[in-house]
Structures are given as structure tokens and as C-alpha cells.
Structure 1
Amino acid sequence: MVLNSIEKLLEKYENGETTLKEEQQLKNYFSQETVAPHLEMYKPMFAYFSVNQQEQFTKTLPLKTKKVNHYKWIAVAAVAVFMLGYYFKTPVVSAYEEYAYGTYNNPEEALNEVTKSLAMISGHLNTGVATVNYLGEVNKGTKTIGYLNEIENATSIIFKK
């Protein structure tokens, strides 16, 4: 009678339909010394489950991660940049004097040249703006197309009813 119930429980176990209480009955049965010969193949599996149930995890888990301080490396990189800049620097005064083309000694001459340059830039800018004014006409044309779409919507409503 006990063997019949164990076989039924094994069938339910294989189908995944057992409860925890029924699984405990199977573990108890297969932990005994005497098991039916045709059920011997299940004994190592249930022995493993009972041994595995007693295992415990003993290692500690770090819950906080260590913060890596990158500011040290940023400081090292900044010092390296400053060192390279100091090593490869060129004298500012001599480089300025060597390449100082187009400078004026008289402030009035400099003002006149700047005024000429700004007038030239303004003239070119105004011609560019004049060509863009035609876009206003394009906008008027798109508005009339919008009115045509409204008329088309109204006629489609009328003819569908």
C-alpha cells in the first residue's frame, strides 16, 4: 500500500504537481535504507536534495562599492599639461611682433578701416536678406493651398452623406 502511494507521488512529482508536504514524504521514503528495487534510481536524486538543503552560503557580500577617486588622475594630467605648455611655450612678445601685420599706429586710420569693413559686410548681408524676402510670397501661396484643402474636406463630407 505504501509502495503504491510512493509510485503515485513519484508520478505527480515528475509532472510537477506535488506539494511541499508530498515532496517531503518522498524525501523521507528515499532516505531510508530499504527502498523498492525498481525505485533505486530515484534514491541518489532525493539524497542530493536533502544534502543540498543543508548547504549554507558563508561568504560575505560587499553591499557598498568602493568609490574610485579619479581626481588624483585629473590632477596628474593637469600637471602634465602645464609642464608641456611651459616646455613648448613660445615668447609671446616676439611672436606678436613678428606676425603683427595690418596694425595701425593712428587710431583714426584704424576706425576708418573698420568702418569700411563693416559697411562691406553689411552690404553683402543686405543682399542676402533681400533674396530671402521672396519666402514671404511662398508662404502666401501655401496659405491658399490650405484653403483648398478645407474646401476639399467640406465636399468630401457632403458627398459621403
Structure 2
Amino acid sequence: MELANIENLIEKYFEATATVQEEQELKTYFSQDNVAPHLQEYKPMFQYFTDLKSEKFTRNVPLKPRKNYLKWISVAAVFVLTTSLFINEWKKQREVDEAIADFKMAMSLVSENLNTGASHINYLSEFEETTNKIFITRNN
């Protein structure tokens, strides 16, 4: 490989404009034993990247089970909300039922009083008839 070409590739690499193929050329060049003395400082970096690619993590990672507190909190919140809405509607319905019962009782009392008053109207009609008979006989 030409030394000028390698220097240009290093410039492109540090400017982040090098292609994957050009980076591969740099890795190949720096994996050789005969690297130009003024480019020796880059050899450990590219060697590290090559070594890093071959590394694998082999230890087992213990996974702790996730605690589902959030799930149960949301279930409890939905339960409380639904229950409170149900109780609120139940109380409203009970108040409406009590109001209807009070209205029925008031209407039955009014009805009883009207019926009592209606029975006295019969006495008034008899009184009126008798009064009319008296006035008609006096006027004649």
C-alpha cells in the first residue's frame, strides 16, 4: 500500500468521511508488522478495534424479576374509581326514589283532603237547593 494513500485514509477516518471499505484497508494495514514509523501511534488503536470485535461476554447475567407494582396500582385505581362512580350513581338513584316516595305521600294527603272537601260539597248543594226553594216561594 502506498504511504500517501494510508495518510489520506487516516485523515478521512478522523473526519468521519471514510467508507467501510477504506476503514477495512486501514485495519489491514495496521495489523501488519511493517508500519511506517510516524504512523506507529495509530497501530494500538486499530489493533484494539480488531481485538474488541473478537471479544465475547460469557458470564451469566442474573435477571431479577420485575416487580409489577405499577400494574397492581393501576388495577386498584380503576377499581376505586369504578366503585366510587357506582356508589355515587346508587346514592343519586336512592335520592330520586326517596323524592318520588315523598311526592306520592304528599299527593295522597292532598287527595284525601280533596275527597273530604268533596263530601262536604254535597251538603252545600243540599243547602243551596233548600235556600233556592225558600227564596223562590217567598218571591211568589
Could you tell me the TM-score, scaled by structure 2's length?
A: 0.43
Q: Which structure's residues are more often helix, by fraction?
A: 2
Greater RCO (Cα-Cα under 8 Å, separation 6 or more): 2
Could you tell me the TM-score, scaled by structure 1's length?
A: 0.38
